């Protein structure tokens, strides 16, 4: 894994531990209007890619298919640090992938699976065709340390 990504991951591990790694993920719509939403970052893998579980019915998946540039932002209150990760997203859907979607579906809690099912009352445990994955390959990372009087800002190009 790239050393910058590893460095950033250590901040996230320190902050969140086993709690959900909640961030904001930005996309742009067809009229170039920006929009953000909360997401749970599920994993930063050994290649330094960020993984999210998602749903075909949300706007972000359509946005990222058409315009893969994205930015993910974390605020880490205990450490007083903001982290921004810019990158390119790939949407893995029922047409392009079965293996990784199934792997992540199997890892989800029952409560999480209910969110991604098509119908609240649907008791079918199998993975719905609308369940998707987003992977983000970082291109630039920024860390702003507000615990420091000098408000240190560091920016790294990645990859």
How far, in Å, CA of 117 to CA of 127, rounded? Answer: 8
- Which of 38, 109, 110, 111 is in the footprint of ligand FMN by CB under 6 A? 38
Neighbours of 153 (CB within 10 A): 12
Q: Residue 20, class by beta-carbon neighbours within 10 Å (0-12 exposed, 13-18 middle, 19+ buried)? A: exposed
CB within 8 A of 18, min separation 6: which ones? none
Region 59-118 residues binding ligand FMN, contact defined as CB under 6 A: 59-60
Structure tokens at 73: 């932002």
Residue 27 Cβ, how far from ligand FMN at the closest point, in Å? 7
Judged by beta carbon, residue 57 or residue 157, the one nearer ligand FMN is 57
How far, in Å, CA of 47 to CA of 38, rounded? Answer: 24
Judged by beta carbon, residue 52 or residue 105, the one nearer ligand FMN is 52
Residue 73 Cβ, how far from ligand FMN at the closest point, in Å? 13
Contact flag: residue 40 with ligand FMN (CB under 6 A):
yes
Judged by beta carbon, residue 5 or residue 23, the one nearer ligand FMN is 23
Residue 139 Cβ, how far from ligand FMN at the closest point, in Å? 22
Judged by beta carbon, residue 41 or residue 145, the one nearer ligand FMN is 41
Structure tokens at 130: 């609308």
Contact flag: residue 157 with ligand FMN (CB under 6 A):
no
Secondary structure of 30-79 in HEC code, one letter for each residue: CCCCEEEEEEEECEECCCCCEEEEEECCCHHHHHHHHCCEEEEEEEECCC
Judged by beta carbon, residue 8 or residue 53, the one nearer ligand FMN is 53
Q: Which parts of this chain interact with ligand FMN (CB under 6 A)?
A: 22, 35, 37-40, 52-55, 58-60
């Amino acid at each position: 894994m790239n050393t910058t990504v590893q460095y950033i991951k250590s901040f996230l591990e320190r902050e969140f531990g086993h709690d959900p790694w909640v961030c904001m993920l930005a996309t742009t719509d067809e009229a170039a209007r920006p929009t953000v939403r909360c997401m749970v970052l599920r994993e930063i893998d050994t290649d330094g890619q960020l993984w999210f579980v998602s749903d075909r019915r949300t706007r972000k998946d359509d946005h990222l298919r058409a315009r893969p540039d994205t930015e993910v932002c974390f605020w880490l209150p205990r450490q007083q640090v903001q982290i921004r990760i810019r990158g390119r997203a790939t949407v893995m859907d029922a047409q392009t992938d079965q293996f990784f979607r199934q792997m992540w579906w199997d890892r989800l809690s029952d409560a999480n699976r209910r969110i991604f099912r098509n119908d609240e009352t649907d008791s079918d445990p199998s993975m719905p065709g609308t369940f998707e994955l987003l992977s983000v390959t970082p291109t630039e990372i920024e860390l702003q340390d507000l615990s420091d009087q000098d408000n240190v800002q560091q920016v790294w190009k990645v990859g």
